[in-house]
Chain A
Amino acid sequence: MIEITLSFLIFLIAAYGLIKDTNVVKSIICLNLLQTAVILIFILLTRPSGSSLPIHGFSPTAPVDPLPQALIITAIVIGASITALALMMTVKIFHYYGTLDWQEIIEKEK
């Protein structure tokens, strides 16, 4: 239970960062944190304590459901690709505007 509470805390911190912070890179980091928190909660909820690896012929106790693990890998890959693309765009924004602050970017557009 404590792990789930902590993951939820990470989720809240990330959401707070997305609302509060005006730096583009920090927004990307917060989005990553948000996804990580969701993934953590998913893993924790689908892994009952005392279960073993989902490998055939290797389970002394009941194996965990292998599907969530496969889904999580996909979700992580998607998160990584979004981060890569977002960082690439951030570099372009910095070259053009000379700043990484959302507010300053809006002011410079005028």
Chain B
Amino acid sequence: MYYILLSIIFVPLILAILFYLVNKPQFNSMVFLFQVLQTFFVYVLSRSVIAGESLSYVIGQWPMGIGIELRLDWLSLIFVGMTTLGFWAAYLYCWEEKCRDAKYFFFITFLQGSLVALFLVYDLFSMFILLELVTILGSILITYKKDGYAVKAGLFYLLYNSFGMTIFLVGVIILYISSGSLNMTVAGEIAQGLSQQVHIRFAVACFFVAFSLKSALVPVYTWLPIAHSSAPSSVSALLSGLMVKIGLYGFMRLHGVFSGPFLSQSLMIVGISTALLGVGFAVLQTDIKRILAYHTISQVGLMVVGISSGMEKGMYGGLLHMVNHFAFKTLLFLCAGILITNTGERHIKKIRGVMASNPFLGIAIVIGILGITGAPFFNGSISKYIIKKSVEGTFVTYGLYLVNFGTLVSFIKFGQVLGGPSRYPFSIEWVKSLSIALVATLVLAMFPIGIVMGGRILHGEFFSYYNLLKESGIYLIMAIFGWQFYHRVVDREHPWLKAKATKTLGFQISNAFLIVYFLVVVIFTRYQV
């Protein structure tokens, strides 16, 4: 088991170096062989986790608390599984264009190895290194063989994220000095006893800010729309589907360690405002990829609302929504990539007639839209319902309804690409359609999985015909109102609102946001009981 655990990290890394050294186009097809092997390894590991035994090994047989610990429990298993599936989709999708490009495969397989390692290490400094590594590789992939806007986006992403990671490093240092260990369990146990002290709270604030930046919460979200909309489509899918969730992984991981002050009502407020602001911007966008990028912000806000309730129910809802969001957002980004390459347009109003010329792509987009808006019998509905349940009775519930409404409105806008006469061919190579079919199947499969797991967590109060009828009714009413709202208000494109929505915030103002947010969080954690 130990060697399998090591090999799911090191096989991608070694393969990446081989791609670079061999540098022959024929060798690139090894990536699929390796993916089959990787999937098999993850399957073997998941069997032992599902049997109820989480794996934990220290590299080099050092005693616990000194060496680097690798731990595979439920949380990391879900993330590792998501990584494997997401990279299947990315490899299949980019194969047609990049199959002769060994360097691209070097970067992308290296990214896979570092992401798997990031989800397995149980050690704060290794986490810092891998976060930085993922940031570097992400920015290289955003700018890969591109010019101008994409390079600026990549530079913004790189600098802003490394600023955030420096704050993370401060937290690691303070925790190390006060506890004498970098292992999360050991450091966490010592820090639990000292949780009233100022420096521990400062360290918690540092982690909080760094993970907020990684998951693009409200004042520090500015890097996400630029980066996600200018990357190549397979990379956008990875960024939006997987890499945004790194911050949420951090929140959940450290919540298990510092169970006191880490997640609280304050995070819920940040989460709901992220969800509202993200959806507000998304409604006003006209660039097809920017719509999806702002939706990532808003959906991450929903997940944060779920996990910040701190209850098992909310945690589970947030985690399920994370997997669901991974499925439908990957699907939508891949489809958007096909729309853009076939038409050469990014403006939503200039792309029409997908359903008429390519029904397969049209159905895939419909599945994605129904998933993300939370239509009944699609995956988004269950996780949104559980999140709603977990905050029942507070003002946040109304915010969630508003977010759902906004999501519907902006996907009515997005859905208009389906109708109309066919002007463009919208042809897909079979490898790409395989990738889209894979992710669409995942979106559909997540509904029964969510039902079964939801029934276990919520103990039967979850699935009843009455609930199903009620939620379907709400969805239909919202869809009708959303249709009206879109045609009467959004479609008019008020010039002032449009100017506000398409304005990109500069690097300096983003840094100012980050510092102000940091100070607010530090003061807040200091005086929190």
Contacts and interface: CB of A to CB of B under 8 A. Distances in A.
Contact of B173 (A22, A41, A86, A89): A41
A85 B136 contact: yes
Contacts of A92: 143, 147, 151
A75 B169 contact: yes
B469 interface: no
Most buried by B among A45, A68, A81, A85: A85
A43 B129 CA distance: 18
Contacts of A64: none
Contacts of A71: 125
Interface residues of B, number: 34
Interface in B488-529: 504, 506-508, 511-512, 515
Interface in A4-23: 15, 18-22
Contacts of A106: 504, 506
Is chain B's interface secondary structure helix, strand, loop, or mixed overall? helix
A46 interface: yes
B176 A89 contact: no
B177 interface: yes
Given A19-B508, A27-B159, A106-B504, A89 B143 contact: yes
Contacts of B182: 67
A45 to B, nearest CB: 6
Contact of B129 (A38, A78, A85): A78
Interface in B155-197: 155, 158-159, 162-163, 166, 169-170, 173, 176-177, 182
Contacts of B136: 81-82, 85
A50 B511 CA distance: 39
A51 interface: no
Nearest to B158: A86
B511 A89 contact: no
A97 B148 contact: yes
Contact of A19 (B143, B152, B512): B512
A34 B158 contact: no
Nearest to A89: B155
B139 interface: yes
Interface string B191-213: 00000000000000000000000
A34 B511 contact: no
A27 B182 CA distance: 31
Nearest to A84: B136
Nearest to B139: A85
B132 A82 contact: yes
Contact of A18 (B133, B139, B504, B508): B508
Nearest to A79: B162
A38 B152 contact: no
B340 interface: no
B170 A38 contact: yes
Contacts of B34: none
Is chain A's interface secondary structure helix, strand, loop, or mixed overall? helix
Contact of B132 (A15, A78, A86, A109): A78
B140 interface: yes
B430 interface: no
B463 interface: no
A31 B159 contact: yes
Contacts of A86: 155, 158-159
Contacts of B128: 75
A82 B147 contact: no
A21 B170 CA distance: 24
A69 interface: no
Contacts of B158: 82, 85-86, 89
A109 B149 contact: yes
Contacts of A68: 176
A84 to B, nearest CB: 10
Contact of A89 (B125, B151, B506): B151
Interface string A83-101: 0011001101100110000
A34 B169 CA distance: 11
B162 A31 contact: yes
B507 A27 contact: yes
Contacts of A97: 148, 152
B511 A19 contact: yes
A45 B177 contact: yes
Interface string B115-151: 0000000000100110011001001100100011101
A24 B155 contact: yes
Contacts of B450: none
Given A27-B159, A85-B139, A20 B166 contact: no
B434 to A, nearest CB: 33
22 contacts: A18-B511, A19-B511, A19-B515, A22-B506, A22-B508, A34-B163, A38-B173, A41-B173, A45-B173, A46-B177, A75-B169, A79-B162, A82-B132, A82-B162, A85-B136, A86-B155, A89-B139, A92-B151, A93-B151, A97-B152, A102-B506, A102-B508
Interface of B: 125, 128-129, 132-133, 136, 139-140, 143, 147-149, 151-152, 154-155, 158-159, 162-163, 166, 169-170, 173, 176-177, 182, 504, 506-508, 511-512, 515
Q: Which 3 interchain pairs have the tightest Cβ spacing?
A: A96-B148, A89-B155, A18-B511
Given A42-B173, A102-B507, 17 more contacts: A15-B515, A18-B508, A21-B508, A22-B506, A31-B159, A31-B166, A38-B166, A46-B176, A46-B177, A67-B176, A78-B133, A82-B132, A82-B162, A86-B155, A93-B148, A97-B148, A106-B504
